[in-house]
Amino acid sequence: QQPVQSPQAVILREGEDAVINCSSSKALYSVHWYRQKHGEAPVFLMILLKGGEQKGHEKISASFNEKKQQSSLYLTASQLSYSGTYFCGTERWGSGTYKYIFGTGTRLKVLA
C-alpha cells in the first residue's frame, strides 16, 4: 500500500537534471512532494491534485498521471542545496476521510 519511489538513490553533479518517480496501487486524490535534509523535518515542495491543479514552489516542477496513479518530480539544473531525501505523500479517499501515506523515499546527493 505504501507508494513506491524510484530510484532509491541518485548522485548528480551540480547543474545536472534528475527525475524522481512515485507510484501507487490505489486511486489517488492528490500527490505531495517533500524534501527532508538530514536531521531536519520534511519541507513542503508541491501538491498535485486530481484534475490538474498544482500548488507549490515556482522552481519545482512535477506531473501527475491520474490514469497510472504515478507522479514525477523534475529537478533541473540541480544545486548543492537540492541534496536530501525526497518523499512523495499520497492522499486517497477511504473510510470517510482522506488517508495519507508517505512513499519509500529517494536519496539525492548533489556534488560540486
Quote the CA–CA distance of 74 and 62 in Å, as a whole number.
Answer: 6
> Positive or negative CA dihedral for 10, 15, 16, 17?
positive
Does 109 interact with another protein (rule: CB under 8 A)? no
Cβ atoms of residues 33 and 5 within 8 Å: no
Quote the CA–CA distance of 64 and 50 in Å, as a whole number.
Answer: 8
Which 55-74 residues touch another protein, going by CB under 8 A? 55
Minimum gap (Å) between residue 54 Cβ and another protein: 10
Minimum CB distance to another protein smaller for 44 or for 74: 44
Contact set with another protein (CB under 8 A): 2, 29-30, 32, 34, 40-44, 47, 49, 53, 55, 87, 89, 91, 93, 95-105
